[in-house]
């Protein structure tokens, strides 16, 4: 598989690491405006780092666009004459609809819109994808690419903004929860390193429990909360202080903001 990542910034670089560690490509072009910081990736013989998007498009089949929303239009206009039947265009751009992509490069292209997160660098991204009419022929290929680097589901495009909040911004939300748990653990006597270890592995275990068992979070909570015990005491105090409510409100605030990014 010949893959190009157009715009190797935070997300693009995470995708590049995910592809490298899963042996997901035979060749990889990485483009960036100032490529010096990622030039060392050329030590993997199959990686070419360049500023030349046109060369990357010509030499690749799968094109993953990971630039900022304001940059995508110009890049597509500059490369559209090079697009052929072999290309699969995968966009990660927040708020940039398939319709807008089609208006620049035409409907007769395999277009996939995706929303991965930065955990793709360690093969653990939750990625949501959707496609245009022609892209239906390549959606399984896109799923296979993302499933090598985590878990993917196909959704309708109208849910893409919500998926961005839950999955992409979600990494930041969960990080803050892990950090808060770490701070609590330090107050309870652990040093900072141990505290973070306790917090992140417990978080990992909680998610794995649900993934492996298919059970509902409340079922697992019922198994931990001894009547009159310490867990329910802590949990109820957290809820009195608005834990669930503040999370949900934060997600709604993110969604409100992302709707504006989409309009612009
Ligand atoms: N950071 C995240 O967790 C996620 C970001 N996204 C979306 O992915 C996109 C990229 O986000 P980030 O990686 O955070 O942005 P970023 O600003 O870190 O990366 C953008 C990269 O594009 C490069 N670039 C700009 N113009 C270019 C051009 N003409 N040719 C080649 N490269 C060019 C820049 O040099 C930069 O390295 C955005 O649209 C964002 O909404 C989506 C999901 C998650
Ligand atoms: O914060 C943002 O707007 C972008 C989209 C999702 C993750 N980062």
Report the sign of the C-alpha dihedral through residues 227, 228, 231, 233, in that order: positive
Which of 109, 135, 155 delimits the end of a domain?
155
Same domain, 232 and 258: yes
Same domain, 113 and 186: no
Paired sense of beta strands 110-115 and 47-50, if any: unpaired
Ligand 2 pocket, residue 94 CB under 6 Å: yes
Q: How many domains does the chain have?
A: 2
Nearest protein CA to atom 1 of ligand 2, as residue: 169
Same domain, 67 and 188: no
Ligand 2 pocket, residue 164 CB under 6 Å: yes
For residue 93, give the CATH number of its domain: 3.40.50.720
**How many whole angstroms separate alpha carbon 45 and alpha carbon 39?**
12
Domain boundaries, position 192: 164-263
Q: Please indicate if the annotation marks 117 as binding a ligand.
A: no
Question: What is the number of the ligand 2 atom nearest to the C-alpha of 164?
Answer: 6
What is the ipTM, given to two decimal places?
0.95
176-218 pLDDT, tens digit per residue, is: 999 999 999 999 999 999 999 999 999 999 999 999 999 999 9
Q: Which residues contact 77 (CB under 8 A, 6 or more apart)?
A: 104
Same domain, 241 and 132: no
Same domain, 145 and 176: no
pLDDT reported for residue 154: 97
Tell me the average pLDDT across 95-109.
Answer: 96
For residue 180, give the CATH number of its domain: 1.10.3730.10
Whether the CB-CB separation of 90 and 139 falls below 8 Å is answered with no
The pLDDT-based confidence of 264 (bands split at 50, 70, 90) is low
With helix as H, strand as E and coil as C, how does 155-217 read? CCHHHHHHHHHHHHHHHHHHHHHHHHHHHHHHHCCCCHHHHHHHHHHHHHHHHHHHHHHCCCH
């Amino acid at each position: 598989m010949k893959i190009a990542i157009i715009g190797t910034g935070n997300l693009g670089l995470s995708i590049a690491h995910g592809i490298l560690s899963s042996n997901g490509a035979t060749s990889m072009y990485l483009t960036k405006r100032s490529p010096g910081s990622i030039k060392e990736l050329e030590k993997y013989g199959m990686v070419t780092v360049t500023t030349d998007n046109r060369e990357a498009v010509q030499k690749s089949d799968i094109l993953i666009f990971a630039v900022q929303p304001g940059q995508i239009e110009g890049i597509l206009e500059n490369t559209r004459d090079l697009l052929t039947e072999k290309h699969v265009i995968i966009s990660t751009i927040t708020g940039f609809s398939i319709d807008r992509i089609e208006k620049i490069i035409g409907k007769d292209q395999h277009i996939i819109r995706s929303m991965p997160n930065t955990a793709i660098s360690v093969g653990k991204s939750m990625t949501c994808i959707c496609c245009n009419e022609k892209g239906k022929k390549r959606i399984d290929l896109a799923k296979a690419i993302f499933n090598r680097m985590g878990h993917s589901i196909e959704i309708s495009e109208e849910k893409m903004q919500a998926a961005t909040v839950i999955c992409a911004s979600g990494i930041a939300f969960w990080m803050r929860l892990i950090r808060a748990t770490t701070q609590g653990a330090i107050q309870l006597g652990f040093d900072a390193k141990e505290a973070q270890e306790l917090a992140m592995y417990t978080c990992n275990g909680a998610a794995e429990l649900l993934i492996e068992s298919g059970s509902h979070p409340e079922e697992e909570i019922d198994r931990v909360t001894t009547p009159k015990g310490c867990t329910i005491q802590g949990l109820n105090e957290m809820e009195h202080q608005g834990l669930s409510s503040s999370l949900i409100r934060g997600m709604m605030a993110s969604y409100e903001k992302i709707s504006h990014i989409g309009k612009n």
